[in-house]
Amino acid sequence: MFYFSLIKLKTNLSSVPRPPAMDPKYLEDSELKMTAVTETHYEGEIPESFDARERWPDCRSVKLIRDQANCGSCWAVSTASAMSDRLCIHSNGERQDLLSDSDILTCCVLCGSGCNGGSTLRAYAWLVKVGACTGGPYATQGVCKPYVFHPCGRRVDQPYYGDCKVKNMPTPKCRRECSAEYSKNYGDDKIFGIWN
């Protein structure tokens, strides 16, 4: 067992660099005028198990597992994933659009530091204000901006993707245009979120 004194622990922690996404400036933001959360008491039985894929079988986004490759884009990838799910669920399966994690990653400069981390709250607010175009996994056809990085194995147990060529991917530049093969223009392809 290890025992650390509080002074030694504080000294050790103070020498660890803080990731940019953990900067306190992301915790307070007048731009994020969020609605207050209302507490609801659930009177029913909590199910023994729950599988969103079974509850919403017509929503392909719920079944999709996105891969951020060797980029610290979890904040953009998870935001695009969650909002794609909500779009499909809210439309009862009518809207199957996948929001572009690449659009959020590269163009939401107020969200954080691209591949070096960011804020999901700011990404949600950005979707309300600016919107994101359609996307999907790397090399997806028929969308505006698929994910920019090829999946790669970051761990030994992921040999099917191959090795990551670069340790930490640099954040690509924001392009406010769709891929050449896609028929819609970037502005017309945008999907916006709503706080409610």
Contact 138, 118 (CB under 8 A): no
Contact 132, 172 (CB under 8 A): no
The answer to the question of residue 60 being in a domain is yes
The answer to the question of residue 112 being in a domain is yes
Q: What is the mean pLDDT of residues 176-184?
A: 96
Q: What is the CATH number of the domain that holds 137?
A: 3.90.70.10
Helix/strand/coil for 22: helix
Domain count, the chain: 1
Give the pLDDT score at 173. 97
pLDDT tens, residue by residue, 13-22:
555 555 555 5
The answer to the question of residue 196 being in a domain is no
The answer to the question of residue 115 being in a domain is yes
Q: What is the mean pLDDT of residues 133-153?
A: 94
The answer to the question of residue 31 being in a domain is no
Would the pLDDT of 162 be above 60?
A: yes
Structure-model confidence comparison of residues 160 and 62, the more confident one: 62
Alpha helices (runs of H) in the chain, residue ranges in sequence order: 6-14, 52-55, 60-63, 74-90, 101-107, 120-129, 186-189
The answer to the question of residue 44 being in a domain is no
The answer to the question of residue 154 being in a domain is yes
What backbone phi and psi angles, to 5 degrees, belong to 69? 55, -145
Task: Provide the domain limits for residue 165.
Answer: 53-189
Q: What is the mean pLDDT of residues 43-51?
A: 92
